[in-house]
């Protein structure tokens, strides 16, 4: 029975915070090279702010008729006739899957913790929330300006493996070194937006956006408990003295980018809108330090094994939408967004971070929603229903990678989100509630708009 650690690429957990985990890999008795390797699973998407947009399933580019247009499509700011303030509180309930234990290859021996056939997933749960959007819009003549703060990303995950095996059943067992990860991703944006009405049917908008990120990923490989009787089949209690390495990836940086949009009224009941949203680019820093059990592989505990710096870019997004109002009470909206996920891996230093055999492709989001307004009520009440396709954007190892790498970082699945919403419009303010459900994350939004 051999204890082995393959390139610990990953333990899936984390985002666009950042995508890469320092690890090590080697067979027992050999040196353990340290390095920066591929990204863990990160749950990230950048939906529009606002409970009204959420109720429409995010199909808002061609509507853009409230203060959240400053982010979604700044051209829509010309639709706002009076100064207004907008606030939104949002909560996220994440359920992030990761490979927890089991057999990468072969059948379980049935000894100690080697009893799981195939691979078994675990789930990392996190509940987060807070003030997610605030804006001030001031219209003037044919133009409008706005300032906003937006919580673009807020994500946490915690993962740890417990018994990953390969090799034969009766001999030549391979126990892969267990890894614990912690991921904290936060990106906040501040935008100054302006829009101008070129004609009765066409307006243009532009935003200058400042991004600030304080994000971190920590990865810690551990040796199994020192139990002579169980040997390589002993459980891993993650005791501090059994830590092999301590690795970390950090983003503490800021960047400026641009967003542009247009809004075109084709006919009285038809409107088309589009936008281009430039993603930020940050500097990512990482290091690996030998842990207390580093001596098992000939490492000096506490020694700095490796450090690296690389740029990391977040996706550009561009989209096109249309809205149709068959009669005054009903609005239907559709939106197509192209998200350039590949920017994340393409921007990383592939030599330092070992991302050359990891796949992350660009893909399309599809959003559809509708709103029915009860005009005769006080306050005026609106009900909304939406759905959208969140395509799989899980970084995963390609087919040529090892079975271990492919087991720890497999492709994910497309997600269908379903949303519902309620709006109450009073004389000088409006309150909206939105709820978005999916397999990986449930989101609740409560927003208010007050006319000045």
CA distance 353 to 368: 38
Q: Is the pLDDT of residue 8 over 80?
A: no
Give domain 2-451's CATH superfamily. Answer: Outer membrane protein transport protein (OMPP1/FadL/TodX) (2.40.160.60)
Give residue 394's pLDDT band: very low, low, confident or very high (50, 70, 90).
Answer: confident
SS3 87: strand
Rounded (5°) CA angle 177-179-182: 170
Please name the helix (run of DSSP H) or strand (run of DSSP E) that holds residue 407, with its range, or none: helix 403-408
Average pLDDT of 38-43? 49
* CB-CB contact of 321 with 365 (8 Å): no
Burial class (CB in 10 A: 0-12, 13-18, 19+), 125: exposed
Residue 49 has what pLDDT? Answer: 93
Tell me the pLDDT tens digit for each residue of 137-165: 999 999 999 999 999 989 999 989 998 99
Q: Is the pLDDT of residue 318 over 60?
A: yes
pTM score: 0.87
CA distance 370 to 384: 6
Residue 44 has what pLDDT? Answer: 64
Q: Is the pLDDT of residue 28 over 80?
A: no
Residue-level length of the chain:
452
Tell me the pLDDT tens digit for each residue of 230-254: 777 889 999 999 998 888 889 999 9
Residue 10 has what pLDDT? Answer: 28
């Amino acid at each position: 029975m051999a204890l082995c650690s393959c390139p610990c690429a990953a333990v899936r957990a984390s985002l666009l915070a950042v995508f890469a985990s320092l690890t090590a890999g080697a067979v027992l008795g050999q040196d353990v090279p340290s390095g920066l390797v591929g990204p863990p699973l990160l749950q990230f998407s950048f939906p529009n702010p606002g409970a009204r947009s959420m109720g429409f399933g995010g199909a808002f580019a061609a509507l853009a008729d409230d203060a959240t247009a400053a982010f979604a499509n700044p051209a829509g700011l010309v639709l706002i006739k009076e100064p207004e303030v907008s606030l939104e509180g949002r909560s996220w309930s994440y359920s992030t899957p990761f490979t927890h234990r089991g057999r990468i290859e072969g059948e379980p021996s049935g000894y100690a913790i080697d009893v799981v056939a195939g691979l078994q997933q675990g789930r990392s749960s996190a509940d987060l929330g807070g003030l997610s959007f605030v804006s001030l819009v001031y219209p003037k003549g044919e133009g409008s300006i706005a300032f906003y703060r937006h919580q673009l990303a807020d994500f946490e995950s915690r993962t740890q493996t417990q018994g990953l095996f390969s090799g034969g059943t009766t001999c030549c067992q391979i126990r892969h070194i267990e890894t614990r990860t912690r991921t904290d991703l936060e990106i906040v944006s501040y935008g100054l937006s302006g829009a101008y009405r070129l004609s009765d049917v066409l307006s243009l908008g532009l935003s200058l956006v400042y991004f600030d990120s304080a994000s971190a990923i920590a990865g810690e490989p551990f040796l199994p408990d020192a139990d002579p009787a169980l040997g390589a089949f002993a459980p891993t209690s993650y005791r501090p003295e059994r830590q092999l390495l301590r690795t970390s990836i950090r983003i503490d940086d800021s960047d400026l980018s641009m967003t542009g949009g247009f809004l075109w009224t084709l006919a009285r009941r038809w409107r088309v809108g589009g936008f281009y949203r430039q993603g930020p680019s940050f500097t990512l820093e990482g290091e690996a330090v030998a842990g207390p059990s580093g001596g098992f592989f000939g490492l000096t505990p506490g020694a700095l094994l490796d450090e690296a710096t690389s740029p990391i870019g977040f996706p550009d997004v561009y989209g096109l939408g249309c809205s149709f109002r068959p009669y005054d009470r009903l609005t239907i909206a559709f939106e197509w967004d192209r998200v350039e996920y590949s920017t994340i891996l393409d921007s990383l230093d592939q030599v330092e971070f070992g991302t050359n055999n990891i796949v992350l492709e660009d893909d399309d989001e599809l959003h559809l929603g509708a709103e029915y307004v009860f005009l005769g009520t006080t306050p005026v009440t609106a009900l909304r229903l939406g759905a959208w396709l969140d395509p799989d954007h899980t970084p995963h190892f390609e087919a040529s990678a090892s079975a271990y790498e492919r087991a720890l970082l497999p492709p994910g699945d497309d997600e269908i989100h379903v949303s519902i919403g309620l709006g109450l419009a009073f004389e000088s303010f409006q309150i909206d509630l939105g709820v978005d459900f999916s397999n990986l994350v449930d989101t609740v939004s409560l927003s208010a708009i007050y006319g000045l």
